[in-house]
Structures are given as structure tokens and as C-alpha cells.
Structure 1
Amino acid sequence: MEFTAGGRFEVRLTRADVGKRVSVRQLTGSGAGGEKFTDTVGVLTSWDGGVLLITRRTGESVRVPEAALVAGKVVPAAPARRRGPSASFEELAGVCARSWQPVESEPLGEWRLRAASGFTRRANSVLPLGDPGMELDEALTRVRRWYEERGLPPYVQAATGAEGTQERLCAELERRGWRPEVTAEVRIAALAPLGDRDADVSRVALGRGVDETWLRRYQRSGVPGPHVLHVLNSGPSVWFATVPGEPGEDGEPGVPAAIGRCVVDGRWAGFMAVEVDPACRRQGLATAVMTALARRALEEGASAAWLQVESDNEGARALYDAMGFALHHRYHHFRSP
């Protein structure tokens, strides 16, 4: 990382660069081995009170005191990814939202308040795609009131790590005491290679509606009420995949060995709720489910794939790495203090 001109460190940043992607170096100590430095790359989200706040792609906020700043400059946006389809944050955020629709929704300027009786944070959080039409503090007050009226904790879903994401909003939320509880990755890939995988899809049954058998494997809710069924069945073109398990003692269908869900929306196919019986893992069932769903999405004209995976789910991330899914951006659910 080059900061010098003629052997000298240079700070080529001003407060007018807030909102831009920057690279900075700060002095962190000195000793017998000489001075020690730390480099940080991210969006300059604020510069107040003698402290620069930089938000990295991961959503982590780094505080850099002016007194420790020895070099800094504006840098170009992150290079385009070399694999998978191209996609803007705005396009992908809209596709993701349409695939998991709340029971109740209300606009707040260009923000969208969403509620589904507490079933998943995605369906019970604010989607802030633009300007709320008022000062941030007033908007957050309205957010708190709206969710409190429904007996729900207030959440804001904000993204980092791609052009057009919301690093500055994340920093402002943290400044006001909101804290991220969960971070998830949005990943994308070309769809055709998924459909072309050599997977045994003969056991995978596809259907249009969620049924009682499928729900026996689904782990995201207890007894599913109407609000759960509403969210699961929402989306432009929804498909459910089931790999049957062992039948029950009465001969009726038992708990499925694996399940999955796919929503086709224009060129995009979104994969969700891919779950496998722990006793049946490492048998290729997750791959078979996704391959079967991908082939159906290709028949409907889709060409690109996306999915969401929590950042601490190492097993799922490894699977999706092997399938060719590349990170597009991350989103974080900030909860009101």
C-alpha cells in the first residue's frame, strides 16, 4: 500500500471526503524496532471531534484519531468481481426483498417498515433504500414507535461492502447506540453451472406451495402460523424442494431428509431454506436440492443466482464457495438500544 511521495508520508484527505472510499495509515506505537503502523481501507463515514470513523466492507467500524493519522488518500471503488453476474446493490436489494415479503409493510419516505409477527429479522426490520424524508433522529423515533405498537423490537437492515451500500448509515446508527446483532452475506453466481452439476436429483420433488411435510424439516419456526406461511409463499415465482425421508410407523410421510426454497424473479433465482437432516449430511442432498431448483429456474428464464448466508455459518459458506458463489455485499441487523 503506497502512501509516500518522495519518501514522505502524506495525508491527502479532508472532511469533504466523508462518504468516499479511503485508505489510511495510523501510528499505533513505537519501540526498539521502530514505529508501528496499521492500515485501514473502507468508507470514511465521519470526521468529528478529532476522530475519523472508517467502516470496512465487513461492517466493522475503525476509529482513527487525527493525532495518529500519518497518511491517507481517497482510493477507487473495489475492483469488479471476476466471477458471477454483474449486479448493483440497488437491484439485488430489491430482488432479495421481494423474495421474503412481510405480512405488513408501510413506507417512511424511501424506507420500508416491515413486520411479520416476529418471524425472522428480514421480515421484521426497516429496509432503508434511500431517504426517509426527514432527519435521521426523527425517522428512528418513528421506527421505534411503529415496532413498539406491534410488540416487536426495532431493527434496521443496513448493508456494507459494495458500491451504493450504507456504510454512513451504519456509522450513524452505531453513534446512536444501535448495535448489529446478526451479519449475513449476500452471494451471487451464474445459474447455468448450478443446473449443470452432476447431482442425483431423482429423489427431489418440486412443488408450488409449502406443505405440512416440508415444514417438518424447516427449523426457523415452531408451530407455523399464518404469518410464517405468508412469508414462505411470497415472491414472484416460488418453488419448494423436498427429499423424502423415512416414512412414519403409520406409513405416512416422515420428516424430509432435505428441503429447499427458490424464488424466481426475472433473471434472478434466489435460494433459501436449504436444510438437511444431520443424519443425512455429506450425501450430496443439499447439492441435489439446489441443482433441481436451478434447473427449474433456468426453464423459467433465470440466468443468475443469489443466496444469503450468516457470516458465522462456516459449513454453509464452504458449500457455497464450492458451488461458485462469490460475495457481493453484507447486511447487518441493527437493534435499537
Structure 2
Amino acid sequence: MEFTMGGRLEVRMTPADVGKRVSLRRVTGDPGEGPKFTDTVGVLTSWDDEVLSVTTRSGESVRIAESTLVAGKVVPPAPARRRGPAASFEELARATARAWQPVESELLGDWRLRAAGGFTRRANSVLPLGDPGLPVGEALGRVGRWYGERGLPAYVQAATGAEGTQERLCADLEEHGWRREVTAEVRIAALAPVGDLAADVSAVRMSREPDDAWLSRYQRFEAPGPHVLEVLGSGPSVWFASVPGDGPAGVPAAIGRCVVDGRWAGFMAVEVGPEYRRRGLATAVMTALARTALDEGASAAWLQAETDNEGARALYDGMGFATHHHYHHFRSA
């Protein structure tokens, strides 16, 4: 990382650059042991009282004392990804939302408040794609009351790491006492290579609705009430896949869900029973769903994987999925 001008390190930015992507170098460590330097790249989300706050691609908020800076400058947005289809953050955010719809929703300016009886954070959180029409603190107060009336915790889903994402909002949420609870990657890929994987799909069964057997493998609820079925069935064109198990209980060995929406195919709920893992069943489910989506005219794929799910991330790496951005669920204090 280079910050030189005439051989001298410089800080070439001001508080007026809040909201821009920056690259900083600061002194860290014990001064008695000699200077050590740490570099930080992200969006400058505040510069107050001689302290800078930078939100990184992964959503981490880094606070930096102005007195420790030795170099800093505004840098261009992160370069476009070379793998996978071209996609903007807003296009993907809207596509992912259409594939997992709430039971009820309400607009607060450009923020959409979503609820589904507490079934998943995605269906029970605010999707803030624009201006709420109120100061952020006041808007968050309205959000808290709306979810409180429904007996639900208040969550806001905010994204980082791509052009047009919401680093400033993440910083505002933290400033108002909201805390990041979960972080996930939104990954994208060309769809045809997924459909072309050398997987045995002969045992994969496809259906338009989740039957009792499918639901018995998808254990994200105590009982699959109407709100669960409504969320799972939501989306422009929804498909469910399952691979029968070899036990007497009728629980599938593996399941998956796909929503086809124009050029996009979104993959969700890909699960394999612990006793059936390492048999290629997740790949078979993904491949079968991809082929169905290709038949419906889709050409691009997306999915979401929590950052601590190493097994899923390794699987999707092998299929050619690349991280487009991160999203985070912030919960009110």
C-alpha cells in the first residue's frame, strides 16, 4: 500500500470525505518496541472528536485515533468481480427479498418492515433500501415499536462490501446501540456450470410444495405453522428438492429449495442429514435445482452462507460461487 508523495507519508483526506472509501495506515503497538503499522481499507463512516470510524468489507467497525494516523487517502470503489454475473447490490437485495417473503410488511419511507411470526431473521427484519423519511434515530424508534407490537425482537438487515452498500447505516446502527448478531455472505455464480456438475441426480425428487417429509428434514421451527409454509412457498417460481433417506422414518437424506426469478435462481435450505454427509448429496440437490432453473430461463445463481459455516463455504467455492457482498442482522439493545 503506497501513500508517498515526494518520498513522504501523508494524510490526504478530511472529515468532508465521510461516506467515501478510504485506505489508512496507523501506528500500533508499544512505542518502546519500535513502530508497527496496521492498514485498514473501508468506508469512512464518521470523523468526530479526533476519532475516525471505518467500516470494512466484512462489516467490522474500526475506530482509529487521529493521532495514530501516518497516512490516509480516498481510494476508488472496490474493483468489479471477475467471476460470476454482473450484478448491483440493489438488484441482488431485491431478488433475495422476493425469494423469502414475510407474512406482513409495512413501509417506512424506503425501509420495509417485515414480519413472519418470528420464523427466520430474514423474514422478520427491516430491509432498508433507501431513506426512511425520518432521522435514523427516530426511524429506529418506530421500528422498535412496530416489532414490539408483534412480540418480536427488532432487527435491521444491512449490507457491506460492494458499491452502493450500507456501511454508513451499519455505523449509525452501532451508534444507536444496535449490535450485529449474524453475518452472512451473498454469493453469485453463473448458473450453467452448476447444472453441468457431474452429479447423480437420479434420486432427487422435485416438487412445487414442501411435503411433511421435506419439512421433517428442515428443522428450523418447532411446528410448521401456516406462517412457515407461507414464507417457504413465497417467490415467483418455487421448487423443492429432496433425496429419500434409507431409514424407516421417511426423513429425507437431503433437501433444498430454489426460487427462479427472471435471470436469477436463488438456492436456500440446502441441508444434508449428518449420517448422509460426504456422499455428494448436497451437490446432487443443487445440480437438480439448477437444471430446473435453467429450463425456466434463468442464467445466474445466488445463495447466502453464514460466515461461520465452513463446510457450506467450501462446497460453494468448488461450485464457482464468489462473494458479492456481506449482510448483517443488527438487533436492538
Normalised by the size of structure 2, how large is the TM-score?
A: 0.98
Tell me the distance in 2 between the aligned counterparts of 1:48 and 1:256: 55
Q: Which residue of 2 aligns with 1:334?
A: 330
Question: CA offsets per residue over residues 290-335 of structure 1, 9 Å max, x none?
Answer: 0000000000000000000100000110000111100000000000
Q: Does 1:291 align with 2:297?
A: no
One-letter identity of the residue aligned with 2:287: T
Question: CA offsets per residue over residues 42-96 of structure 1, 9 Å max, x none?
Answer: 0000111110000000000111111111110001111111110010000000000
One-letter identity of the residue aligned with 2:244: P
The Cα shift of 1:34 comes to 3.0
One-letter identity of the residue aligned with 1:315: G
The Cα shift of 1:188 comes to 0.3
Q: Which residue of 2 aligns with 1:212?
A: 212
Q: Does 1:46 align with 2:46?
A: yes
One-letter identity of the residue aligned with 2:257: R
Q: Which residue of 1 aligns with 2:126?
A: 126
Tell me the distance in 2 between the aligned counterparts of 1:284 and 1:309: 18
Q: Which residue of 2 aligns with 1:317?
A: 313
Deviates more, 1:164-173 or 1:218-227: 218-227
CA RMSD of aligned residues (A): 1.0
Tell me the distance in 1 between the aligned counterparts of 2:49 and 2:277: 53
One-letter identity of the residue aligned with 2:296: E
One-letter identity of the residue aligned with 1:133: G
One-letter identity of the residue aligned with 1:225: G
The Cα shift of 1:31 comes to 4.5
Normalised by the size of structure 1, how large is the TM-score?
A: 0.97
Tell me the distance in 2 between the aligned counterparts of 1:312 and 1:106: 32
One-letter identity of the residue aligned with 2:47: W
Deviates more, 1:219-228 or 1:146-155: 219-228
Q: Which residue of 1 aligns with 2:8?
A: 8
Tell me the distance in 1 between the aligned counterparts of 2:60 and 2:161: 10
Tell me the distance in 2 between the aligned counterparts of 1:30 and 1:240: 57
- Secondary structure at the aligned position of 1:294 is classed as helix
One-letter identity of the residue aligned with 1:282: R
Q: Which residue of 1 aligns with 2:65?
A: 65
The Cα shift of 1:30 comes to 5.1
Q: How does 1:159-198 map to 2 (within 5 A)?
A: 159-198=159-198
Q: Which residue of 2 aligns with 1:301?
A: 297
Q: Which residue of 2 aligns with 1:34?
A: 34
Q: Which residue of 2 aligns with 1:273?
A: 269
The Cα shift of 1:36 comes to 1.4
Q: Does 1:258 align with 2:254?
A: yes
Q: How high is the sequence identity, in percent, across the aligned residues?
A: 77
The Cα shift of 1:151 comes to 0.2
- Secondary structure at the aligned position of 1:120 is classed as coil
Tell me the distance in 1 between the aligned counterparts of 2:28 and 2:196: 51
One-letter identity of the residue aligned with 1:322: G
| Structure 2, unaligned runs of 5 or more | none
Tell me the distance in 1 between the aligned counterparts of 2:73 and 2:258: 43
Tell me the distance in 1 between the aligned counterparts of 2:222 and 2:287: 28
The Cα shift of 1:37 comes to 1.3
Q: Which residue of 1 aligns with 2:97?
A: 97
Tell me the distance in 2 between the aligned counterparts of 1:243 and 1:258: 5
The Cα shift of 1:245 comes to 1.1
Tell me the distance in 1 between the aligned counterparts of 2:241 and 2:57: 34
One-letter identity of the residue aligned with 2:260: V
- Secondary structure at the aligned position of 1:261 is classed as strand
Tell me the distance in 2 between the aligned counterparts of 1:85 and 1:31: 47
The Cα shift of 1:156 comes to 0.4
The Cα shift of 1:29 comes to 3.7
One-letter identity of the residue aligned with 1:279: E
Q: How does 1:130-145 map to 2 (within 5 A)?
A: 130-145=130-145
The Cα shift of 1:219 comes to 1.9
Q: Which residue of 2 aligns with 1:111?
A: 111
One-letter identity of the residue aligned with 1:24: L
Question: CA offsets per residue over residues 19-50 of structure 1, 9 Å max, x none?
Answer: 00000111114556632111100000011111
Tell me the distance in 2 between the aligned counterparts of 1:118 and 1:153: 8
- Secondary structure at the aligned position of 1:151 is classed as coil
The Cα shift of 1:286 comes to 0.3
Tell me the distance in 2 between the aligned counterparts of 1:49 and 1:148: 35
Question: CA offsets per residue over residues 209-253 of structure 1, 9 Å max, x none?
Answer: 1111110110211211000000000000000001011253xxxx7
Q: Which residue of 2 aligns with 1:17?
A: 17
Q: Does 1:225 align with 2:221?
A: no
Tell me the distance in 2 between the aligned counterparts of 1:23 and 1:171: 18
One-letter identity of the residue aligned with 2:153: P
Tell me the distance in 1 between the aligned counterparts of 2:151 and 2:50: 40
Tell me the distance in 2 between the aligned counterparts of 1:49 and 1:177: 19
Q: Does 1:85 align with 2:81?
A: no
- Secondary structure at the aligned position of 1:145 is classed as helix
